[in-house]
Amino acid sequence: MFLTISTTGTPERPATDLGFLLHKHPGKAQAFSTSHGTAHVFYPEAAPERCTAALLLEVDPVALVRRGQGKGRGGAPDAALAQYVNDRPYAASSLLAVALRAVFGSALNGRCAARPELVGQVRPLRIEIPVLPARGGAELVHRLFDPLGWYLVRPEPLPLDEQFPEWGASRYVRLVLEGELRLTDALRQLYVLLPVLDDAKHYWVAPDEVDKLLRAGDGWLAGHPENGLITSRYLARHKRLTRDALERLELARLAEADGSEAEDLDNAVDEDTDTAERPLPLAVRRREAIVAALRAAGAARVLDLGCGQGQLVQELLRDVSFTEITGVDVSVRALGTAARRLRLERMGEKQSGRVRLLQGSLAYTDKRLAGYDAAVLSEVVEHLDPPRLPALEYAVFGAARPRTVLVTTPNAEYNVRWETLPAGRFRHADHRFEWTRAEFRDWAGAVAGRHGYTVEFTPVGEDDPEVGPPTQMAVFTRDGETDTDTTDTTDTTDTPKEGEAA
């Protein structure tokens, strides 16, 4: 069983930092004895530009059988030779996950005493597992890893016998993953998903397995579209434990959403009592700017990503040129409020055919988001932890790829103008960061470059000569789509939508 983890580096962030992160010196080959055999860790390459750590697990089949763990599915305990002659020693599997934890436990838990600042770093990572049992094949590998922010997920089915290709594929794949992630996130995903793919647990499933699963799944499992399958397989289809785990995941998801759905300081104006005399609240001006930009882009089918309580969706419904409006949010509670605000229940058929609310996380690619003219991310990016931003970037600009994307976010420089905001504080308790104009431009410019978009910036609210506007907006246009394009292939006509529950 073999797994390699590679990273590339620069002089400021050398690839050999991998040694610190894994707590294993790149200059040494080390061996660890685990309950199933010997785990070897060594570095086939260790240079500042590129560094690879390899984990080789030498399984002792006899020890496995003695521990009563080498049995195939339903095999009688004394089925003699079959117990000793099986794929366990050769294929990466749950045992590799156990070894990962035994050997790279600190890295998996996100601890790095020597260089704590490295833990939060998103790094280019490449993981390769030459032989991985995958019950469910390449297709399931995609369903499990695609939503997790990897740029490349490549499971190659391995033939049953190289000499006889006509025999077809075995249940093994060679797996390559590439992406920019924190090492701790990558390891925690593997720790859970390797046994899920193997689907043959080799140890007794004790109740504390639920805790282990939730710990390893923290931050990615609750919102994963396959969390039911993952949980059930990880817990060896143990019904009660699976139900417990799913309930706790749901609670975690709600708690996470609760934290992020409170109104922003600059939104916290009772808009319903707004009168013409007062200056327009910033949230209203923001929506006006967004609607104007959507009209200018000629968008008809619009996604409101992180729609919160549905104020923008409501605004868009007033304009018939928006033929289809989809609000997406991770928070079930916010969506409930949005549905009440829109009076979805009492809407006529024609109106309700134009609007839809979906629960989902923007940190995952989602097929439902493909095929729209435009997507809006209004005051959303700053609610994500910076390491999750590449995943959002990929889900929106890489996978959904609408012609136009609008992103608004607070301008941190303007905060000195908020009288009620103590210096150094963010506008909202859930903001993970607030960008200056330069920081926003850097991010947006890099995103546009990576995904074939052009980006322009528009101030929202009074543009202070010194500190800029309170809100900054980026308008991304997919390359080759800047002009009025009559050969447009996206469907902007008023086609009936496929049937769905009202």
Name the CA dihedral angle for 417, 422, 425, 427, rounded to a multiple of 10 degrees: -60
Instruction: Return the residue of 362, 374, 381, 407 that touches ligand SAH, per CB under 6 A.
Output: 362
Instruction: Return the residue of 199, 324, 366, 379 that touches ligand SAH, per CB under 6 A.
Output: 379
Contact assessment for residue 17 and residue 9, using Cβ atoms and an 8 Å cutoff: yes
- The least distance separating ligand SAH from the CB of residue 303, rounded to whole angstroms, comes to 11
- Each residue 254-283 as x (binds ligand SAH by CB under 6 A) or -, in order, gives ---x--xx-----x----------------
Q: Which is nearer to ligand SAH, 308 or 402 (CB)?
A: 308
Instruction: Return the residue of 16, 94, 331, 472 that touches ligand SAH, per CB under 6 A.
Output: 331
The SS3 call for residue 65 is: helix
Contact assessment for residue 178 and residue 98, using Cβ atoms and an 8 Å cutoff: no
- The least distance separating ligand SAH from the CB of residue 267, rounded to whole angstroms, comes to 6
CA atoms within 13 A on the CB side of 80: 1
DSSP character for 381?
A: G
Q: List CB contacts of 329: < 8 A, sequence separation 6 or more.
A: 257, 261, 306, 307, 308, 335, 338, 357, 359, 360
Regarding 198 and contact with ligand SAH (CB under 6 A), the answer is no
Residues 141, 126: Cα–Cα separation, whole Å: 16
- Give residue for tokens 């992103």: 407
Kind plus residue range of the DSSP H or E element containing 17: helix 17-22
Selection from 21, 421, 407, 359 nearest residue 187 by Cα: 21
Selection from 363, 354, 361, 362 nearest residue 302 by Cα: 354
- The least distance separating ligand SAH from the CB of residue 7, rounded to whole angstroms, comes to 26
- The least distance separating ligand SAH from the CB of residue 34, rounded to whole angstroms, comes to 36
Q: Which is nearer to ligand SAH, 108 or 460 (CB)?
A: 460
Regarding 396 and contact with ligand SAH (CB under 6 A), the answer is no
CA distances from 352 to 147, 326, 329, 371 (A): 29, 11, 18, 20
- Each residue 478-497 as x (binds ligand SAH by CB under 6 A) or -, in order, gives --------------------
Q: Which is nearer to ligand SAH, 354 or 383 (CB)?
A: 383
Q: Which is nearer to ligand SAH, 89 or 402 (CB)?
A: 402
Instruction: Return the residue of 128, 329, 434, 481 that touches ligand SAH, per CB under 6 A.
Output: 329
- The least distance separating ligand SAH from the CB of residue 293, rounded to whole angstroms, comes to 14
Spatial strand order in the sheet of 453-460:
355-359, 324-329, 301-305, 374-378, 404-410, 471-478, 453-460
**Which part of the chain contacts ligand SAH (CB under 6 A), choosing from 33-41, 272-280, 373-381, 482-490?**
373-381
Regarding 366 and contact with ligand SAH (CB under 6 A), the answer is no
- The least distance separating ligand SAH from the CB of residue 265, rounded to whole angstroms, comes to 12
- The least distance separating ligand SAH from the CB of residue 157, rounded to whole angstroms, comes to 33
**Which part of the chain contacts ligand SAH (CB under 6 A), choosing from 16-24, 133-141, 240-248, 378-386?**
378-386
- Among positions 306-325, residues that touch ligand SAH (CB under 6 A) are 306-308
Regarding 406 and contact with ligand SAH (CB under 6 A), the answer is no
Q: Outline where 118-207 has alpha helix (H).
A: 137-145, 183-198
Regarding 375 and contact with ligand SAH (CB under 6 A), the answer is no
Regarding 390 and contact with ligand SAH (CB under 6 A), the answer is no
Regarding 334 and contact with ligand SAH (CB under 6 A), the answer is yes
- The least distance separating ligand SAH from the CB of residue 353, rounded to whole angstroms, comes to 23
Q: Which is nearer to ligand SAH, 383 or 403 (CB)?
A: 383
CA distances from 348 to 307, 345, 351, 353, 357 (A): 22, 9, 5, 8, 16
Contact assessment for residue 143 and residue 226, using Cβ atoms and an 8 Å cutoff: yes
Is residue 90 exposed (0-12), middle (13-18) or buried (19+ Cβ within 10 Å)?
A: middle
Which contacts qualify for 140-143: CB closer than 8 Å, 24 or more apart?
140/197, 141/173, 141/175, 141/197, 143/225, 143/226
Selection from 281, 344, 350, 276 nearest residue 313 by Cα: 344
| Binding footprint of ligand SAH, residue count (CB under 6 A) | 19
Residues 452, 434: Cα–Cα separation, whole Å: 25
Instruction: Return the residue of 224, 383, 403, 431 that touches ligand SAH, per CB under 6 A.
Output: 383
Residues 402, 405: Cα–Cα separation, whole Å: 7
- The least distance separating ligand SAH from the CB of residue 458, rounded to whole angstroms, comes to 15
Regarding 185 and contact with ligand SAH (CB under 6 A), the answer is no
E strand map for 144-290: 150-159, 169-182
**Which part of the chain contacts ligand SAH (CB under 6 A), choosing from 207-215, 314-322, 379-387, 451-459?**
379-387
Regarding 384 and contact with ligand SAH (CB under 6 A), the answer is yes
Residues that bind ligand SAH (CB under 6 A): 257, 260-261, 267, 306-308, 329-331, 334, 361-363, 378-380, 383-384
